[in-house]
Amino acid sequence: MAAPMKGKVCVVTGASRGIGRGIALQLCKAGATVYITGRHLDTLRVAAQEAQSLGGRCVPVVCDSSQESEVRSLFEQVAREQQGHLDVLVNNAYAGVQTILNTRNKPFWETPASMWDDINNVGLRWTVSLCHPGWSAVAQSQLTATSILLPQAPE
């Protein structure tokens, strides 16, 4: 079977479950080296084992996408291990789902002002912020970046 992503290096944030995990699985299946991130090593390891069983290479990295130091460390690791090469960034991490679920039956004027920060910090703000260390660490690469604003719809 052809491996169209062989030699490609990818980072998928929020990849321990859901859409991020599915994207990581498909990238590995296509032969890529995929760095997956999430906040819990146990779920990342399970996802990485599944991904590697499909082909490619999967590297689990504990990284809270709301913490700039952890994001910077992630991209430093990728740059160091991949000689400054990164092809694809999938910014799938999103931390606003619980806030949306907790406030979905309230009128807007009854929700706390902090709701905006909860919804937009990892989803919107970090879409841009993740790209800064990502691009600076791999300045010589062509980087394709995509973002998923709401990877889990409320029930």
In a domain, 152, yes or no: no
pLDDT bucket at 116, cuts 50 / 70 / 90: confident
Q: Residue 153: its pLDDT value, please?
A: 45
Backbone angle region of 31, left / alpha / beta, with phi > 0 → left and psi within -120 to 50 → alpha: left
**Highest mean pLDDT out of 13-22, 91-100, 103-112:** 13-22
Task: Judge whether 23 lies within some domain.
Answer: yes
Residue 4 in domain: no
Judge whether 154 lies within some domain. no
Tens of pLDDT, residue by residue over 23-73, are 999 999 999 999 999 999 999 999 999 999 998 899 999 998 888 889 889
- Give me the number of domains the chain comprises: 1
**Paired residues of 58 in beta bridges:** 34
Q: From CA 78, how far away is CA 86, in angstroms rounded? A: 8
Q: Does 52 map to a domain? A: yes
Query: 110 pLDDT band (50/70/90 cuts)?
Result: confident
Range with the lowest mean pLDDT among 25-29, 58-62, 76-80, 120-124? 120-124
Contact present, 56 and 115 (Cβ < 8 Å): no
Residue 30 lies in a domain: yes
Q: Between 79 and 61, whose confidence is greater?
A: 61
What is the distance between the terminal CA atoms of the chain, rounded to a whole angstrom?
A: 38
Within a domain: 47:
yes
Domain that includes residue 50, residue range: 9-93+127-144
pLDDT band at 152, cuts 50/70/90? very low
Is it the case that residue 129 has pLDDT exceeding 80?
no
2 domain-assigned: no
CATH at residue 34: 3.40.50.720
**φ/ψ (deg, to 5) at 145:** -115, 140
What pLDDT does residue 151 have? 45
Compute CA 36 distance to the chain's CA centroid, rounded to the nearest angstrom.
Answer: 7
Give the full edge-to-edge strand order of the sheet including 9-12: 57-62, 33-38, 9-12, 88-91, 144-147
The DSSP symbol for 61 reads E
Looking at residue 103, its pLDDT comes to 79
Average pLDDT, the chain: 81
Q: What is the pLDDT of residue 40?
A: 94
Mean pLDDT check: name the lowest of 61-70, 71-80, 119-128: 119-128
